[in-house]
Structure 1
Amino acid sequence: MSGEHIISNALFKAGCGCPPVVKGVKRIRGGKPTQGAEKSNILCRHHNSLLSPLDSTIGKISNFQAQANDENFEDTLWLEGELLERWLLKTVINTAAAGWLGPQKLLPSDDIVRAIFGLEPIPNKIGLYSVEGICPTYQPRGGASFKAINLKTPFGLIMGGAYISVNGMPLFASFNTDLTERLEQGEAPELLNYYSEKGLQHLYHPGALFMDRKKGARLYIGLSWNGFLTFGDGSKTPFPPRKGNDT
């Protein structure tokens, strides 16, 4: 087994260099802050290594966020949205399979696992949504936070989705096609102004993730979908650049 990081270690490398501390998870008695609880035996080494591009993607985002602390930093990060989406789904599944959400470790469906490995397409309206605002528990030293959304069914509670904040930037992984609409309409009242005073707002497959700073111009992370970056004027360009294309 790999003893893999439940949340990619690449996310934390741009931080203060302190050992990761896990707190508030169910498998730790009382949810107390604990070192060394960030790993779990979920995949074998071979299958874990196949997901390295996903870990690399979130590492690039974290490094970009760290550089953005310099008000003179002005750049744009370009990424494949599908890689970030698969990382987000992988991380949600990891937390469930590792027992972070409760005493019973949850196992994902085969189709979700295949989608995470890029072997099947992710259905429309399932997967990555950007979220307006910032995580209120964000701390300058960085880190990640997790908030599961459970749905009541005749068979009991199931996970409908989860918010994962990356150094304060909230993202939402949905396993239900209408979940974001239901949340925005107030199905979970405590979330309506949790991330933003403007209310709870989600955007499916955003073309960019925007970063407002206390000092310095607004920055953004551009995301391609289906092989294309889409700009505000509606124009598109291939990404990753095709051979012979200097874009």
Structure 2
Amino acid sequence: MTRSNYLQSGISGIFAVSMIAGAVAPIFTGAPAAAQLRPVIISPISQTQSGVKTSVPAGTSIAVEYDNTNKIVVAPNETVPLTLKVEKTIFSRYGTTLIPAGSQVVGQLQPATGGSQFVAKNIVINGKSQPIYASSKVVTTTQQIRKGTSIKSIVKGAAVGAAAAAGIAALTGDRAIATEEVLGGTGAGALGGWLLGRRVDKVVVVNPDTDLDLTLASDMGVTVIVRR
């Protein structure tokens, strides 16, 4: 083999090795390391969006509202189902929506030491229900009920628990309360089970605008939408 052919053969071999190495070696873009990190994608939402798992920390306050009325009246020992609505969107520190306004919070208003308290069970975010561990403060505002008390001044425009409605009616003899919205029942028919001599001389009065805001008792996992 001449020297010229030997050199050509060597150069061709080096070029071939270079081509193979280039095919299997990783390609680095030269972009900063932080820019190359991606969140863990739980499920694709669309070609331009992804669902990413994160959490809302314990201790987070959630402002809620009750659309049906501006007052709720229940007996001190009464438990009634209640569905509230998130009033203000909860954002992450980066501005990502964690809990959108309008999400439904399903739970119950139940007896607590010194009054009544709303305890949340589930929250519906973007149509999907999941457990939530949160509660309101204990509502201690009460009103005494006596014969001669103007019942209409107490229950006008209020959502009234079935036990409170029947107990007030039994004490005062005023059955007009049955025409108000009755929680935990369907109006006058629901009162029949309570009209057995049970009397209520005190009721808990709840203002949904100020009394029912929630505090998370534990971290709550959520899936947020991130644009690619």
User: TM-score if structure 1 supplies the norm length?
Assistant: 0.18
Report the structure, 1 or 2, having the larger strand content.
2
Whichever of the two has the greater Rg, that structure is 2
Structure with higher RCO (Cα < 8 A, 6+ apart): 2
